[in-house]
Amino acid sequence: MTTAPSYANGVSDKPLIGETIGVVFDRTVARHGDRPGLTVRQQDIRWSYKELGERVQAFAAGLLALGLEPGDRVAIWSLNCAEWVITQFATAKAGLILVNINPAYRLSELEYALNKVGCRALITATAFKTSDYIGMVNTLAPELAASAPGKLNAAKLPKLETVIQIGGPKAPGTFAFDHVLRMGGAVQRARLSELGRSLQFDDSINIQFTSGTTGAPKGATLTHHNILNNGYFIGETMRYTDQDKVCIPVPLYHCFGMVIGNLACITHGSAMVFPGEGFDPLATLQTVAEERCTSLYGVPTMFIAELEHPEFGKFDLSSLRTGVMAGAPCPIEVMRRCVETMHLTEITIAYGMTETSPVSTQTAIGDPMEKQTSTVGRVHPHLEVKIVDGEGRIVPRGTSGELCTRGYSVMLGYWDDPERTAQAIDAGRWMHTGDLATMDADGYCNIVGRIKDLVIRGGENVYPREIEEFLYRHTKIQDVQVFGVPDERYGEELCAWIKIRAGESLTVEEVRAFCQGQIAHYKIPRHVRFVEDFPMTVTGKMQKFLMREKMVQELGLHAAATA
């Protein structure tokens, strides 16, 4: 008997949405205007869809009043807040391409991202904890302080003209976010109506940076069609209605927040509820209980932090029903605890990547517990997945190979990077994920490893090559290899093996100080070792698996490695 091939396509009686985000958002506002739209706990904001819609319309008109044109890139560099949500939908209505900047980015990463895609405007937070965002912008563009707002001419950021500041006190050379809300007039509002009719759903609308194996981050370019439909079918999988309230403690700069969160909500009239700027387990538990949320999102480490919080037992979480756990492999025991103690009887596991908008497979309500806990579900509606060997041939079910996805969700490509786009998307428009997977007889997929040299630290994808490229800049470092080691809290942590130049000396503290403020905190290696040489093959290829094994032994990480 021949084994079926590892191929599946998602059949659905629900059609794809053939409209833009702006059109769908306006329809939701008209249909569900009096329903809860956006709650942001730390800002004490509780807006109906009608109130949110008015602010989105005003900010979109304000962006046009600044002289921005459809197709222009507008970056946002901020943690979760109401202004982020307003910006997401306002840029979509104005035909502007929203560029998500990770709030953990520092100077070199910010400069690269803004220049790579040619951003004309930057919407930035003022500060958060130890992050002085305005200070970093001024470091990169010292010309800002002496510029009239909207007239920036910076040597290091040649395309950037306008800086819009969220919160205060207002810095010289910037527009206050609230001021832009008041800038649009009748002319701009008429233009928005016109754009609503002329914008196309295949237009680029979002650029999300994803770290690259060759160092520099890549700008995954996504359309209305990509992310709107993905959000819609995610919401359909969880059976969202206008009665649902979705607690979103995951970041908006990431697909998890802005697509699985916001777009799943607006396509169903569900409420978007944000417990804080960044993740805090106590604030999340409080928000679920106070707002009577029905759905909760997170990567496994977030759910673990909530379950293990000393005050967990004090909260009434009985309103919860469903949610999404994604971003890293989910421990079976954690899933069981979520179901039993958090009332998440209909929680789902999702799998995907930024380049696929993001979700390709998801478990469904009613799936057997075994499938819910040990797989990443089946292919999403209107998408195809296949698993192939090293030659690109489909393997039989139960055999591991590279997971590939095709369909409406696949990005247009990496911005201004045809070479790396061609490496990721083949001639048949299949997106090669770099993940090793198996497909069972029922079509459920399981991720069994990674082809790419990728480390997932607490839900953050980190490519060691990017960190290696950065550390090579240090004058005392001759050679460096970065890899992941098991970690009970984050799943994986980064380890750097460094070979110092002859005659030089270097300390762990110096290495960390070199990284501080230049690369995101989660990319700074937790473990640093100085070595004389590296294990290599006879052909000169680094054997990182041997380095990893040695560190597991040295650090006593056997338990974490087998968990």
Specify the pLDDT at position 456: 86
Mean pLDDT, range 486-490, rounded to an integer: 90
Predicted pLDDT of residue 214: 47
258: Cβ–Cβ under 8 A, 6 or more apart, which residues? 88, 100, 206, 227, 252
Q: Give 292-332 pLDDT, tens digit per residue.
A: 999 999 988 899 889 989 999 999 999 999 999 987 667 77
pLDDT at position 452 is 64
Residue 213 confidence (pLDDT) above 50: no
Q: Once rounded to an integer, what is the mean pLDDT over residues 551-559? A: 85
Could you name the CATH architecture of 455-562? 2-Layer Sandwich (3.30)
* Long-range contacts from 452-457, C-beta under 8 angstroms, 24+ separation: 452/213, 453/213, 453/483, 453/544, 454/213, 455/483, 455/484, 455/492, 455/494, 456/327, 456/328, 456/329, 456/484, 456/491, 456/492, 457/484, 457/487, 457/490, 457/491, 457/492, 457/493, 457/494, 457/522
- Give the lowest-confidence range in 377-391, 485-499, 536-550: 536-550
Lowest mean pLDDT among 191-205, 364-378, 416-430: 364-378
Does position 370 have pLDDT exceeding 90, yes or no?
A: no
Residues 423-445 have a mean pLDDT of 95
For 219-243, write each residue's pLDDT tens digit: 999 999 999 999 999 999 999 999 9
Residue 372: pLDDT over 90: no
Which pLDDT score is estimated for 559?
Answer: 53
Q: What is the pLDDT of residue 1?
A: 55
Distance of CA 313 to the CA centre of its chain: 30
Higher-pLDDT residue of 460 and 558 is 460
CA 282 to each of CA 43, 78, 129, 268, 556: distance values in angstroms, whole numbers, following the listed order: 17, 21, 18, 28, 31
Using 50, 70 and 90 to split pLDDT, how confident is the model at 106?
Answer: very high
58 has a pLDDT exceeding 70: yes
Question: Which letter does DSSP use for residue 262 in this model?
Answer: I
pLDDT digits (tens, 9 = 90+) for 7-22: 999 999 999 999 999 9
- State residue 329's pLDDT score: 67
Range 540-552 average pLDDT: 82
Q: Give ranges for CATH 3.40.50.980 in the chain.
A: 21-37+45-218
Residues of the chain with CATH 3.30.300.30: 455-562
- Cis bond leading into 158, ω under 30°? no
Query: Is a pLDDT exceeding 80 seen at residue 334?
Result: yes
Residues 6+ apart with CB under 8 A from 1: none
Task: Check pLDDT > 90 for residue 255.
Answer: yes
pLDDT above 90 covers a percentage of the chain that reads 81
Identify the weakest region by mean pLDDT among 46-60, 405-419, 478-492: 478-492
Check residues 499 and 272 and name the one with the higher pLDDT.
272
Averaged confidence pLDDT in the chain: 93
Mean pLDDT over 412-417 rounds to: 97
* DSSP SS3 for 77: strand
Confidence of residue 153 (pLDDT cuts 50, 70, 90): very high
Fold annotation for 21-37+45-218: Rossmann fold (3.40.50)
pLDDT of residue 561: 53
Mean pLDDT on 489-509: 94
Side chain identity at residue 24, one-letter code: V
Per-residue pLDDT, 208: 97
Q: Are 273 and 291 in contact (CB under 8 A)?
A: yes
Per-residue pLDDT, 77: 98
pTM of the model: 0.85
DSSP structure class, residue 449: E
Tell me the pLDDT band of 127, cut-offs 50, 70 and 90: very high
Q: Is the pLDDT of residue 26 over 60?
A: yes
pLDDT at residue 539, rounded to an integer: 43
User: What residue ranges in 133-193 does DSSP mark as E strands?
Assistant: 162-166, 175-176
Average pLDDT, stretch 486-502?
A: 92
| Stretch 262-272: mean pLDDT | 98
Whether the pLDDT of residue 169 is over 50: the answer is yes
